[in-house]
Chain A
């Protein structure tokens, strides 16, 4: 028997298990997926918890339910991968051999990397919204909050879902408006980048929206430490931003198992060919999702589009053929803008988010870089699509490669 192991049972890993379960001949291949715990979280939903749009039950499902019957699920911490020997050492002492390995270990928040983040105020006035526990704790805090300075801050780039902090602050604007206390809340976005988003046209459109909603933006602010006593963010060049409530995006790093295995860069991301998705160091290792170092967003949509390419290339590698499928960095993200509206961006390695309609010219139905009711409905429908289409490795009616159809070329 030949063995394929998938390391990580999150969005990318589960999707790959489902795709390959259908394509690999089980008389020849066994597929094993390893994860450390039993719950699969719908991570895009964390953002909706603090504002009462989703409840806890909306974002939690048993991990095993989404793993095909023929795929073995091992629940264990992993000590390390020894890639030279094609072996994985589990924390419980077991050793597994593989012929091919797919690394899908994701990215994690690391509040421990910034002095003061895990201080006195952690989960009192400082919260993350990238973990279930963080989002739940913030929900409790925000419910009875009477106003003051709410700061949403990004610590370091890259980070998972670069639109999430924007969505958070748009949703906060709507939440406090509906509560009738928006005039008592000062909203500020703090970012180490030079603008609200990374790409010029999207930044221009989103900055307009932030301005209309009276949300302050502080750019080029690189957090050095958090002063718990005075509730202040302090930057490396000694600027300060004070807060009453801080929703922080802590530094992101790849899983520690990548570091222990010597497979990562300085942020524990695995050096990966950005077109073939093969590890740069080992031809029998492929990498998908947030675990890679490829220069596109760390987002579920990217994992989905990359999944189709990885599947094709893995099958080619197994059969000794050249890897001809090429990933273009395609990302597609709905951005909630509050009050029942959302906007949408669609881009890749070389084309920045542009205005227009999606996926079809003129008829859309979705609008790019423009807040509409339909985009919001698209975001809500996405949760159903996530559990029923995306995770199960089924095709979406959207091409893996980004299309220019419906997009309007423009310059800033």
Chain B
């Protein structure tokens, strides 16, 4: 566990830079993480980010497939929004822990 300064905020992150306290998140932080990843956030990005945060808060496991069925965008669209890491990068920007893949 470590502290990182994102935008002007000091937040708790894991060794890969995923935020550990989703309630420390705000849009300025999202922009800061996104720009590190080379992503410019649009409204569509925020729709996905808000969906992820809602699902995480409800305790639901997240998969690429599930986000692809959310009605916000399909899987291909998700790859266009978050190239190389449709779930990893979107989760990182959304300030939620890295989704556990299969076990």
Contact = CB atoms under 8 A, between A and B. Distances in A.
B17 interface: no
Contact of A295 (B84, B85, B103): B103
A194 B28 CA distance: 28
A352 to B, nearest CB: 9
A222 B86 CA distance: 10
Given A222-B64, A266-B69, A296 B75 contact: no
A156 interface: yes
Most interface-central of B64, B75, B79, B102 (chain A CB within 10 A): B102
Contacts of A329: 103
Contacts of A192: 64, 101
Contacts of A388: none
Contacts of B22: none
Would you call the interface of chain B mostly helix, strand, loop, or mixed?
loop
A313 interface: no
Most interface-central of B61, B69, B83 (chain A CB within 10 A): B61
Interface in A157-178: 157-159, 162
Interface in B72-86: 75-76, 78-79, 83-86
Given A157-B63, A220-B84, A222-B64, A236 B76 contact: yes
B61 A295 contact: yes
Contact of B65 (A156, A194, A198, A237): A156
Contact of A198 (B63, B78, B101): B101
Contacts of B64: 192, 222
Contacts of A220: 84-85
Contacts of B84: 220, 237
B66 interface: yes
Query: Contact residue range for chain A?
Result: 20 to 34
Nearest to A299: B103
A194 B79 CA distance: 15
Contacts of A236: 75-76, 78-79, 86
A236 B85 CA distance: 11
A198 B76 CA distance: 24
B88 A157 contact: no
Interface in A137-173: 156-159, 162
A341 B102 CA distance: 25
A162 B103 CA distance: 7
Contact of A193 (B61, B69, B76, B101): B101
B100 interface: yes
27 contacts: A156-B63, A156-B65, A157-B63, A157-B102, A159-B102, A162-B102, A193-B101, A194-B101, A198-B101, A198-B102, A220-B85, A222-B64, A222-B75, A222-B86, A224-B75, A224-B76, A236-B75, A236-B76, A236-B86, A237-B79, A237-B84, A266-B65, A293-B61, A295-B103, A296-B103, A297-B102, A297-B103
Given A162-B103, A236-B79, 18 more contacts: A157-B101, A157-B102, A158-B102, A158-B103, A159-B102, A192-B64, A198-B100, A198-B102, A199-B103, A220-B85, A222-B64, A222-B75, A237-B79, A237-B83, A266-B65, A266-B69, A295-B61, A297-B103
